[in-house]
Structure 1
Amino acid sequence: MSDGKFEKAGQYQAEAYLSRGLLDLMMQDFAPTTQEEAYLVQRNYIDRLSQTKGKLGGYKIAYTSAIMREARGISDPCAGLIFASTISSAPAELKGSDYLKLAIECEVGVRLASEVPAAGAPYTRESIAPHIESLMTAFEIVDMRPAGAPEGADLAVSSIVTNISGGGAVLGTEVKDWQGIDLAASRGTMSINGTQVGEGHGSDVMGHPLEALVWLANNLAARGESIPAGFIVITGSIIPPTPLGSGDTATISIEGLGDAHLKVN
């Protein structure tokens, strides 16, 4: 893709998002065809949205479970960006009208104490651990806006250019003494209006939630990008996306990290 096409694609996607329209960039003749191109379009799109949404505050990682990748026909995880203005602390109240199709996920969240520099790659769980300030139970807020793609399109590319439907995050209490927690074995649950609707384990996320953070750091480093200090990274859902409606309450819990609560108004 030429620079002009990246600009055109990012502008098209931003205008569609802001007008609450169909995110059908993939149906256009200037759509990206590779993941490398898709991430460049994603960044242009997000840079345009930042004019109204403000600065970035973190990353989301999607398709970190084999079940989700198989369901979508995607071979590897994908990453998206999170605006700082869309990250809040639990208990939280969400305005349902802010979303076209609201859903939530249950994830392990990470706050970084220091920059994870591209120059330090390749990372492992052991080498990335000193960069972690705290872990927490985290809701991913998903806005499942309608999108379009031609038959046979690369579904990873299609997801990346929509920023993987990211709508923000709601964070539970931060746990700084996390090193003794067996995150792979930790059970996660989700309840809606007091009824449990899903459960899973940390091992469902690439075998261990911090493997997702390692993947992100190495993926960004391959593009010459570092992860800034203070950023939040949500590592991928233990439980598949679950829709929420007006008046619903939700609770998620991860063993060792505690609970988080939200309500939709």
Structure 2
Amino acid sequence: MEDIAAQRAAEWLVTEHLAGHRFVTLGPPAAPATVPDAYDIQDRYVALLSRENGAPVGYKVGLTSAAMQAFCRIDHPIAGVVLASRVHCSGNRVQRTDFGRLGLEFEIAVRIKSDIPAAAAAHTAETIAPHIDGVCAAIELVDDRAADYASLDVRSLVADNSWNAGIVLSDFKPDWPDLAPLRGLASRDGDLIGEGHGRDILGHPFNSVAWLASHLASRGTSLKAGQIVMTGSVMKTVFPEHEAHYRFEIEALGAVEVRVCSTA
């Protein structure tokens, strides 16, 4: 995509967020014609966001479960960038009014131990595993700005940084069992609201990281030591409507919690 068009689209996204407008498909003259065009816009949008939110510290991978792909009517993963000021520790409080519409996604996050070089062949869970030194339960904060999922356009979603608005992390575990069979339980004020397993994330969370590594290589970049990767939700997004306490517990990994507040 031409630089001028991508920059214009990125600036429009910033304006839309500041104005509190509902998510809509990017239109001409800056509409992305392809998914790579959408990532060109995302790169410039993230650069603008970094001025207020700090440098990139990792990535989110979205639409990695059958439930989320069906929910969004999109049949492949997508990626977004996580910025420094948007990383929160378990127990953090967030305000619903800070988002167009806040969504919570219940995930497994990993921390990268060593740089992952581009490979001639696509990365796999096996080639990725030696580059990971920590795994934890996590919740992604997404802002879909009340999107209409019946007409959702993947290119506009990707351009809007795949809706990442922050992450909440438990403590990283330096040792972990096979992640595929691990069960995760999500609750609101102590009541179960959903569950899933590690295998719901592309068969294994490391497959999600492998997809991301290959995606980044196609764009001339790579995963670096210390970065965090949100591997994708094990269940459908939850949209808080009232003040509540949310908890996501994964056997053998621990639990992560966030308090959603309606007022400051």
TM-score category, normalised to shorter length = over 0.9
1:207 to 185, 203, 207: 203
TM-score (norm 1): 0.92
Of 7-16 and 139-148, more deviation after overlay is shown by 139-148
- Deviation at residue 118 of structure 1 after TM alignment: 2.5
- Counterpart residue number, 1:229: 225
CA distance in 1: counterparts of 2:22 and 2:33, whole angstroms = 19
- Counterpart residue number, 1:251: 247
- Answer whether contact 1:13 1:45 (CA < 8 A) is retained: yes
1:72 aligns with 2:68: no
- Counterpart residue number, 1:85: 85
Of 233-242 and 97-106, more deviation after overlay is shown by 97-106
- RMSD (Å), alpha carbons: 2.0
CA distance in 2: counterparts of 1:243 and 1:64, whole angstroms = 19
Question: 1:4 is paired with a residue of what secondary structure?
Answer: helix
1:175 to 173, 176, 180: 173
Distance 1:190 1:72, change over 3 A: same
Question: 2:178 is paired with a residue of what secondary structure?
Answer: coil
- Deviation at residue 262 of structure 1 after TM alignment: 1.3
1:185 aligns with 2:181: yes
- Deviation at residue 51 of structure 1 after TM alignment: 1.1
CA distance in 2: counterparts of 1:25 and 1:113, whole angstroms = 37
- Counterpart residue number, 1:239: 235
CA distance in 2: counterparts of 1:104 and 1:163, whole angstroms = 16
Q: What stretches of structure 1 of length at least 5 have no aligned partner?
A: none
- Deviation at residue 148 of structure 1 after TM alignment: 7.3
Of 242-251 and 49-58, more deviation after overlay is shown by 242-251
Distance 1:73 1:95, change over 3 A: closer
Question: 2:236 is paired with a residue of what secondary structure?
Answer: strand
Amino acid at match of 1:225: T
- Counterpart residue number, 1:163: 161
CA distance in 2: counterparts of 1:94 and 1:213, whole angstroms = 27
- Answer whether contact 1:12 1:25 (CA < 8 A) is retained: no
TM-score (norm 2): 0.92
Runs of 4+ in 1 over 2 A off after TM superposition: 18-25, 70-73, 117-122, 146-151
- Answer whether contact 1:27 1:150 (CA < 8 A) is retained: no
Give percent identity, aligned residues only: 36
Map 1:30-179 to 2 at 5 A. Answer: 30-119=30-119, 122-147=122-147, 155-178=153-176
Distance 1:89 1:150, change over 3 A: closer
Amino acid at match of 2:181: A
- Answer whether contact 1:25 1:148 (CA < 8 A) is retained: no
Question: 2:36 is paired with a residue of what secondary structure?
Answer: helix
- Counterpart residue number, 2:212: 216
Q: What stretches of structure 2 of length at least 5 have no aligned partner?
A: none
- Answer whether contact 1:27 1:149 (CA < 8 A) is retained: no
Distance 1:143 1:149, change over 3 A: closer
Of 52-61 and 240-249, more deviation after overlay is shown by 240-249
Of 14-23 and 183-192, more deviation after overlay is shown by 14-23
CA distance in 2: counterparts of 1:97 and 1:122, whole angstroms = 41
- Answer whether contact 1:116 1:226 (CA < 8 A) is retained: yes
Amino acid at match of 1:201: H
Amino acid at match of 1:168: G
1:9 aligns with 2:5: no
CA distance in 1: counterparts of 2:50 and 2:17, whole angstroms = 12
